[in-house]
Structure 1
Amino acid sequence: MVPMIRAASLRGFVALVDGLGGDAEALLARFGVASSALESDEGLIPITANDLVLDSAAAELDCPDLGLRLAEAQDLSILGPLAVAIEASSTVAEALRLASRYMFVHSPALSVGVGADPYGSPGVVALTYRKDPRESPYSPQATELGLGLFQRVALALVGTPSGLRSVEIPHQPLSPVERYTAFFGVDVRFGRPEGALRVERRVLDERFATADETIRELAAAHLADTYADPGRAVSTQVKRALAGTLGTAPPALSGVARLLAVHPRTLQRRLAAEGTTFEAVLDEARREAAHRYITTTALPLGQVAALVGFSEQSTLSHAVHRWYGTSPRALRRAPFGDGGPGRSGLSR
């Protein structure tokens, strides 16, 4: 299944684009997103289309800080039911644990967490923001939107910028560096291994004025009862294992079982209990990878075939026709065709 994200992620996009003189509805349509899908925060849209819309709008409207502008128009509420649990948390650490556990409700391709400081500074930790590259290509504008919103939410809940040391951004600056420092209020470093906010460890113990244990417990129970974590499904684990090895080794049940530390027959039984098979999961992993390479990069189709584990380009052509009822070249032209944004740059 193509990774999705809640439509709330584009809250404010239409007004921003139209205000810049663009045609938001036409832009969304070009990437297969109906404008009506944004009428409800609870709607779901493909995360790759979501991100391509952002990168394309920024390039075409000559608005390199589009992601940061959109972050200024959003708040914690875009996370829907997860926002209630976060706001009612007692401390930053507790809120981050909940966000890490339930971020899949917003999008299974995104994650936040707490890690070691990349520079090894004592008393400093990294609040990380990541998108799984196996699920969707890297997007500069979506990354800036995510980090910008991450910082704004933290400030809204804690009430002070004290403790923020620097902001780490994986790509090179899209706007003048002064724009970033004005937005974040601290040093911003580019070309870093992952997106993160570096903060003093004491910040994790900061208490929220909005803390309410009863509401937090109710909200967490609602999340646990209502939403199933796709990451815990055996089929998802198998697909991720396959995504990491496609094109480098022949996909085999025995190899994936070894990676997951189970017997092949046990893995087959667990997949059957979820109503699927190894062959079906492999086909889905290939379909998603092929779609991503074809629609977001300019890689030769022969290379795409190899990357998804096919020995011949003709095998890829037959598979694409079975999956989408069209040829790889036609798929490349629509909906992300017409020289879409960042053909090579978004394949990271």
Structure 2
Amino acid sequence: MDGLDLALLPRLIISGSGLDPEPIARQAGIPVWALGTDHARITGDCYLRAWELVEHGAERRDIALLIADGYVVGALGLYDYLFITAPTLWDGMAATGTYMNTISTNWRFEPAEETEQDISFTVHLNTGAGRGADLAMQFGIAGAFARARTATGRPVNPVRVAFRQPAPRRHDAFHAFFQTDRVDFGAAADTVTMRKSDLQLPLLGADSLLASILRHQAEHLPPLPVRTTWLDEFRRLLRDSLVTGPTIDAVAARLATSPRTLQRRLAAHGTTWRAELDRVRRAEYHRMRPAALNSLARRLGYSDARSLSRANRRWQTG
């Protein structure tokens, strides 16, 4: 099975490039609506294709390093917060390695050679090749150091970085970003070597209680290989809108579309707004049934308990 990535990844790189996201998403095979979500999954080849399109559109061979340099920690959601709430840089890296599936099933990091002062890590892209894979690897490694520098408040730099990809014409951008002359290309594996003293640096956002809560959340997430469809995302947004009062205008806006287009897409899936609203309310009613009736009515977006009671009678007879 091809690797899967959260749509957070292409959203981060497209927004970091400053390019118009819609044409890039369409050409990469990514539904435009997915870029507005934190939960949609895409195939790994779509993410790599987005990298190729971003480089072409930006006309910068160093685009992966530029986007990594502007990477705001937190943009990758739970994955980032698992890192920054850990006590040390080593613990943060261990957390993101353990819970890599919160962002992608296509990557893994493994410890490799070790000396008294240094330790090396091998970075694997499980599936994918070509220029998109090269750029994704550049960003994957550079982004890790951008995040480490932000999280520690210190200039964390590698001892050595080695890429399997062919050497670019100029290495200046790599030396400037990584702050080392030891950036090699054409290597046997993608590796990065770090100082053990850097790995012991405390993280500024360390929070043992929050870290424990986030790890629990990561452990109980549904498996990433279950892909999110447009209808799945619509139903999630509809469910989230119940408390504030579900309207087709509001949900359409969250999907970056018009109410009329939303109705057409629902019809193409063999359903309607009214049927979906009823389905979601019914499912939530049974899930939250122990709650008091008035409270339950409000949480399901009904005006009062009588409206909920009428709906419940209809569900039971329907």
Query: Is this a same-fold pair by TM over 0.5?
Result: yes
TM-score with structure 2 setting the length = 0.63
CA shift, 1:213, in A, is 1.0
Task: Give the aligned length.
Answer: 222
Which of 201, 206, 216 is equivalent to 1:206?
A: 201
Matched, 1:168 2:162: yes
Cα pair distance change 1:16/1:225, threshold 3 Å: closer
Q: For residue 201 of structure 1, what is the amino acid of its counterpart?
A: K
Corresponding residue number in structure 2 for 1:219: 214
Q: Distance in 2 between matches of 1:60 and 1:76?
A: 25
Q: Distance in 1 between matches of 2:157 and 2:22?
A: 41
Pair 1:86 & 2:83 matched? yes
The answer on 1:44 being equivalent to 2:20 is: no
Match of 2:26 among 12, 29, 34: 29
- The separation in 1 between residues aligned to 2:199 and 2:15, in whole angstroms, is 35
Displacement of 1:217 in angstroms is 0.9
Structure 2 letter corresponding to 1:34: P
Distance 1:175 1:77, change over 3 A: farther
Q: Is the Cα contact below 8 Å between 2:89 and 2:200 reproduced in 1?
A: yes
How far the C-alpha of 1:78 sits from its partner, in A, is 3.2
Corresponding residue for residue 8 of structure 1: 8
> What whole-Å deviation, never above 9, does each CA across 1:111-169 have from its counterpart, x for those lacking one?
1233215xxx5421113332113xx3351111111111011011112222356312222
- Distance between the aligned counterparts of 2:203 and 2:65, measured in 1? 25
How far the C-alpha of 1:175 sits from its partner, in A, is: 5.7
Per the alignment, in what secondary structure is the counterpart of residue 101 of structure 2? helix
1:127-276 to structure 2, matched below 5 A, reads 127-133=121-127, 136-137=128-129, 139-162=133-156, 164-174=158-168, 176-187=170-181, 188-228=183-223
Change in 2 beyond 3 A, CA 1:223/1:13: closer
Q: Structure 1 unaligned runs (5+)?
A: 231-348
Instruction: Give the percent of matched residue pairs that are identical in Structure 1 and Structure 2.
Output: 17
2:73 equivalent to 1:57: no
**Deviation at residue 202 of structure 1 after TM alignment:** 2.4
| Residue identity matched to 2:6 | R
* Compared CA separation, residues 122 and 163, structure 1 to 2 (3 A): farther
Question: What are the within-5 Å matches in structure 2 for residues 264-303 of structure 1?
Answer: none
Aligned-pair Cα RMSD in Å:
2.4
AA partner of residue 195 (structure 2): E
Unaligned stretches of 5+ residues in structure 2: 226-318
Equivalent position SS for 1:42: coil
Shift of 1:203: 2.3
Larger radius of gyration: 2
**Mapped partners of 2:105, 2:168: distance in 1:** 27
In structure 2, C-alpha distance between the alignment counterparts of 1:2 and 1:197, rounded to whole Å: 25
Shift of 1:219: 0.8
TM-score (norm 1): 0.58
SS at match of 1:36: helix
**What's the CA shift string for 1:84-110, capped at 9, x where partnerless?**
222111112221221111101100111
